[in-house]
């Protein structure tokens, strides 16, 4: 995903989570670093490629990587295939199409910051669509998170009509992640993340094929774009998900959710330092507020 990490269901405190070891920190840094840098790599790819091609190659390359992992070939009950097909659209096909399209209008660092609203959207979708109980501190986190998204989004949207369109596309993508998280959580716990992700990527690869072929006819080849595609596809949709799934199994989803808070920092540093993007005070302040809200949504309380 996203950059947001693999959906693990509504955030809850799990009893008996083990403390973070050195290997756990390595897994976290791997996932956060890859997902945070994916916006930089997409920017590189978009210099030569149409957003449709970028969106298509990501699930295709991720699928190729996951197919090499033995646990990904674990069988899945036929009764769960409709849910997996829906995940292929909500978790992958739609967000992976919306992100590169939005990035043609707004900076990668802004997208990375807005992407950290995934835990907020997960909690909202869980409460509204799936009847997941929430605590007051989590509701506070939703309010704070939405305020942060507004601070970032409104500041960017006022730069012009295209900026507003880009912000809306990112919010739609993050909303898809939030709904998908509530669907994917039980499936991941039942079959393991690799097995679910392999099938989800298969659906997404097929679903984005028309968009990809449309983009292919409007793209040119460069080695830098090809390398960026591999980094985003194999890294962001393969290696990072495996690292995050392993981390969930070792320390639980709550500690793993810290990845979400690191992603916007990585995206902002690379966007400003490498791409020369400029962040205003409202965007920076909004990112801090949004991350704080995302953190509160993962807390348990009364």
Question: 107 with 99: CB under 8 angstroms?
Answer: no
User: Considering the domain boundaries, does residue 173 fall inside one?
Assistant: yes
Confidence of residue 254 (pLDDT cuts 50, 70, 90): low
Residue 187, pLDDT above cutoff 70: yes
pLDDT tens, position by position, 36-93: 999 999 999 999 999 999 999 999 999 999 999 999 999 999 999 999 999 999 999 9
User: Considering the domain boundaries, does residue 13 fall inside one?
Assistant: no
Note down the domain range covering 252: 22-297
- Environment class of 58 (CB within 10 Å of its CB; exposed 0-12, middle 13-18, buried 19+): buried
Of 260, 300, 232, 294, whose CA–CA distance to 42 is shortest?
A: 232
pLDDT, residue 158, reads: 66
pTM value > 0.85: yes
Confidence of residue 249 (pLDDT cuts 50, 70, 90): low
User: Considering the domain boundaries, does residue 51 fall inside one?
Assistant: yes
Quote the distance between the C-alpha of residue 195 and its chain's center.
18
User: Considering the domain boundaries, does residue 8 fall inside one?
Assistant: no
- Tell me the C-alpha distance between 86 and 200, whole Å: 8
pLDDT cut 70: percent of the chain above it:
88
Look at the chain and report how many structural domains it folds into: 1
User: Considering the domain boundaries, does residue 9 fall inside one?
Assistant: no
Residue 253, pLDDT above cutoff 80: no
User: Considering the domain boundaries, does residue 89 fall inside one?
Assistant: yes
């Amino acid at each position: 995903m996203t950059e947001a990490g693999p959906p693990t269901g509504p955030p809850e405190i799990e009893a008996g989570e083990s403390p973070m070891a050195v290997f756990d920190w390595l897994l976290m840094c791997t996932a956060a670093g890859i997902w945070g840098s994916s916006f930089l790599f997409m920017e590189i790819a978009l210099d030569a490629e149409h957003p449709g091609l970028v969106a298509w190659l990501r699930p295709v390359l991720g699928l190729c990587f996951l197919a090499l992992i033995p646990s990904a070939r674990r069988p899945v009950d036929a009764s769960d295939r409709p849910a997996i097909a829906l995940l292929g659209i909500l978790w992958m096909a739609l967000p992976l199409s919306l992100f590169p399209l939005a990035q043609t209008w707004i900076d990668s660092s802004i997208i990375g910051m807005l992407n950290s609203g995934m835990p907020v959207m997960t909690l909202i979708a869980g409460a509204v669509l799936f009847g997941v109980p929430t605590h007051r501190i989590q509701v506070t986190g939703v309010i704070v998170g939405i305020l942060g998204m507004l601070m970032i989004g409104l500041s960017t949207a006022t730069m012009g009509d295209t900026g507003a369109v880009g912000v809306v596309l990112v919010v739609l993508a993050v909303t898809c992640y939030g709904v998908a998280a509530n669907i994917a959580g039980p499936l991941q716990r039942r079959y393991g993340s690799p097995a679910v992700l392999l099938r989800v990527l298969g659906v997404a690869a097929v679903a984005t094929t028309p968009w990809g072929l449309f983009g292919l006819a409007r793209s040119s080849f460069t080695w830098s774009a090809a390398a960026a595609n591999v980094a985003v596809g194999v890294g962001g949709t393969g290696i990072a998900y495996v690292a995050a799934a392993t981390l969930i199994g070792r320390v639980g989803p709550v500690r793993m959710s810290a990845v979400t808070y690191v992603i916007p920092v990585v995206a902002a540093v690379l966007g400003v330092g490498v791409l020369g993007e400029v962040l205003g005070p409202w965007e920076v302040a909004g990112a801090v507020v949004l991350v704080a809200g995302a953190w509160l949504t993962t807390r348990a309380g009364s």
